[in-house]
């Protein structure tokens, strides 16, 4: 692959010093991840027909996945900061293929639920190493686009999973979609194993170094292997050693003002939106008397046709806004969350299918602006040696929303109306938007602090003439 032979720009300042192939491989990881997670949502009516469980139990499936994810995320971040990330990703994606096959082999709802529970743990392991790698493959000037492409793949995977879960399930039975998804998992695992491991924080150090940037194979052992987070002279960062030290490190990361605002706003935003994504195919099926396949196909088409361009546009806007004003990337996030939530509420209330789908599509398009910029802003303000841990906390809070949203929607639906449950689920995003906006005032200062923490680790250091 190109990523095996490509060398960075001499000073590490190009938009893609390693080329774009690593981004495509990491995007493929997200595509498989999104597809695997959304298979259940697409096939949910078929699964309920098979085993007769309630909406509450339907919402409990992703809730259980997310709950176990929360348990393993901090260890995942610890691993991502210390082991070869490309190898870790290859093992994780391979496990998805195995567990997807096991889902298809389930003979009872209890067995199916248990397999998805284990798969939730495996799904939690990919984001910390993948996001950390992406930040080391691409400098700040192009991270919005790089993370945007990665998040596009997640949205594309979500759309594919919904369509495969509903469409293939309707044609061939509910087991077929889970067997189909095992195949791309095997292919992507092989691609991950072929990626080269970049030095941690090399592109951030390039902002402070006048000497030539050291390509893979010429770095020091600590830089190449990532044997632990380090500060100046290889000294461990505060709280970086052992499980207790890892918890201290998490507290240190959460003391960064931008991180606190972003993570709290993210949790509020995703609290209900995850529930909307999970239940939308079932909502369309029940409200408009559609077949399972058509409801899943329509939902998948909405996500496919809107989230892809939305993430691209949002990543480019964020990169440009970040250059134009302090905290500009954060403003893009907050504005898109508020506008998208309003459009989504309007779409859920409209009773006619065509305008409802148009409004939901507009909402997904606008909400997609925020996704790459959340990730890029997080990568910018967390020192490179501990980005694995930073993204594990990031994913932990996403998992909290993923756990509660579908379950709460299912509970409210059993009590009354699925439409009302979905509208209520969107409301926390309106609170999350101003919380995110607070990070605009601290973002640029925290970026400078993160770069300063990494800069001394590469020697020798020379000033430009």
Give the chain's count of helices (H) and strands (E). 21, 0
User: Which of 10-14, 205-209, 352-356, 392-396 is predicted with the least confidence, judged by mean pLDDT?
Assistant: 10-14
User: Which of 192-206, 354-368, 386-400, 417-431 is predicted with the least confidence, judged by mean pLDDT?
Assistant: 386-400
User: Which of 158-172, 205-219, 440-454 is predicted with the least confidence, judged by mean pLDDT?
Assistant: 205-219
pTM, entire model = 0.63
Distance CA 171, CA 164 (A): 10
Q: Is 90 exceeded by the pLDDT of residue 339?
A: yes
More confidently predicted of 17 and 352: 352
Q: What pLDDT score does 188 carry? A: 93
10 Å CB burial of residue 221 (0-12, 13-18, 19+) is: exposed
Distance CA 64, CA 220 (A): 42
Distance CA 243, CA 226 (A): 17
Q: What is the CATH number of domain 19-200+247-454?
A: 1.20.1250.20
> Are residues 307 and 148 in contact, defined by beta-carbon separation less than 8 angstroms?
no
Number of neighbouring beta carbons within 10 Å of residue 440: 21
CB under 8 Å to 122, separation ≥6 — which residues?
92, 95, 96, 99
Q: What pLDDT score does 343 carry? A: 94
- Across the range 35-47, mean pLDDT stands at 86
Q: How many CA atoms lie within 13 A of 171 on its CB side?
A: 10
Q: Is 80 exceeded by the pLDDT of residue 465?
A: no
Instruction: Tell me the chain's radius of gyration from C-alpha atoms.
Output: 21
Q: Is 80 exceeded by the pLDDT of residue 161?
A: yes
pLDDT digits (tens, 9 = 90+) for 118-128: 888 887 788 88
Alpha-helical segments (H) within 52-168: 55-80, 85-104, 109-123, 127-137, 140-163
> Are residues 65 and 150 in contact, defined by beta-carbon separation less than 8 angstroms?
no
How does residue 154 score in pLDDT terms, banded at 50, 70 and 90? confident
Q: What pLDDT score does 211 carry? A: 39
> Are residues 68 and 209 in contact, defined by beta-carbon separation less than 8 angstroms?
no
- Mapping DSSP onto H, E and C, the string for 186-208 reads HHHHHHHHCCCCCCCCHHHHCCC
10 Å CB burial of residue 14 (0-12, 13-18, 19+) is: middle
End-to-end alpha carbon distance in the chain: 37
More confidently predicted of 358 and 34: 358
More confidently predicted of 456 and 158: 158
pLDDT digits (tens, 9 = 90+) for 61-109: 877 877 787 777 778 777 888 888 899 999 999 998 999 899 999 999 9
More confidently predicted of 293 and 101: 101
Q: Is 70 exceeded by the pLDDT of residue 326?
A: no
Cis link prior to 460 (omega < 30° from 0)?
yes
Comparing CA positions, the residue from 137, 139, 144, 145 lying closest to residue 215 is 137
Q: What pLDDT score does 7 carry? A: 46
> Are residues 240 and 386 in contact, defined by beta-carbon separation less than 8 angstroms?
yes
User: Which of 87-91, 110-114, 215-219, 240-244 is predicted with the least confidence, judged by mean pLDDT?
Assistant: 215-219
Q: What pLDDT score does 69 carry? A: 75
Domain boundaries, the chain: 19-200+247-454
pLDDT digits (tens, 9 = 90+) for 195-225: 988 887 777 665 544 333 333 343 433 333 3
> Are residues 148 and 315 in contact, defined by beta-carbon separation less than 8 angstroms?
yes
Q: What pLDDT score does 83 carry? A: 85
Give the SS3 label for residue 13: coil
Across all residues in the chain, what is the average pLDDT? 78
User: Which of 53-57, 103-107, 373-377, 417-421 is predicted with the least confidence, judged by mean pLDDT?
Assistant: 373-377
Beta bridge partners of 236: 230
More confidently predicted of 93 and 388: 93
DSSP 8-state secondary structure symbol assigned to residue 11 = T
């Amino acid at each position: 692959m190109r990523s095996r032979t490509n060398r960075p720009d001499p000073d590490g300042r190009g938009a893609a010093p390693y080329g774009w192939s690593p981004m495509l491989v990491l995007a493929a990881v997200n595509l498989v991840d999104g597809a695997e997670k959304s298979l259940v949502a697409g096939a949910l009516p078929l699964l309920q027909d098979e085993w007769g469980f309630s909406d509450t139990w339907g919402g409990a499936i992703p809730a259980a996945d997310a709950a176990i994810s929360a348990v393993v995320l901090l260890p995942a971040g610890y691993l991502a900061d210390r082991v070869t990330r490309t190898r870790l990703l290859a093992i994780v994606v391979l496990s998805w293929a195995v567990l997807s096959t096991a889902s298809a082999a389930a003979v009872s709802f209890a067995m199916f639920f248990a397999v998805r529970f284990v798969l939730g743990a495996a799904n939690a392991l990919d984001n910390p190493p993948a996001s950390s790698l992406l930040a080391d493959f691409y400098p700040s000037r192009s991270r919005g686009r790089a993370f945007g492409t990665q998040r596009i793949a997640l949205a594309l995977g979500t759309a594919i999973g919904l369509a495969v879960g509903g469409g293939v399930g309707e044609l061939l039975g509910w087991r077929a979609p889970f067997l189909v998804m095992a195949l791309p998992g095997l292919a992507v695992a092989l691609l991950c194993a072929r990626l080269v491991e970049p030095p941690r924080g090399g592109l951030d150090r390039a902002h402070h170094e006048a000497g030539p940037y050291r390509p893979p194979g010429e770095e020091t052992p600590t830089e190449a292997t990532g044997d632990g987070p380090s500060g100046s002279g290889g000294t461990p960062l505060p709280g970086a050693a052992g499980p207790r030290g890892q918890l201290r490190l998490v507290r240190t990361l959460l003391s960064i003002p931008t991180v606190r605002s972003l993570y709290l706003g993210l949790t509020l935003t995703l609290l209900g939106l995850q529930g909307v994504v999970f239940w939308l195919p079932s909502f369309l099926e029940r409200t408009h008397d559609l077949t399972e396949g058509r409801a899943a196909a329509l939902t998948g088409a909405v996500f496919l046709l809107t989230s892809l361009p939305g993430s691209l546009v949002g990543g480019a806007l964020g990169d440009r806004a970040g250059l134009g004003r302090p905290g500009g990337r954060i403003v893009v996030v907050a504005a898109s969350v508020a506008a998208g939530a309003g459009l989504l509420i309007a779409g859920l209330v409209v009773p006619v299918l065509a305008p409802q789908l148009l409004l939901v599509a507009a909402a997904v398009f606008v909400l997609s602006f925020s996704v790459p910029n959340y990730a890029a802003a997080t990568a910018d303000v967390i020192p490179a040696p501990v980005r694995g841990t930073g993204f594990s906390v990031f994913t932990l809070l996403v998992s909290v929303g993923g756990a509660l949203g579908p379950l709460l929607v299912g509970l409210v639906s059993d009590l009354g109306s699925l439409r009302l449950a979905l509208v209520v689920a969107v409301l926390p995003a309106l609170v999350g938007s101003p919380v995110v906006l607070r990070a605009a005032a601290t973002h640029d200062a925290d970026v400078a602090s993160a770069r300063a923490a990494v800069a001394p680790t590469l020697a020798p250091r020379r000033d430009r003439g």
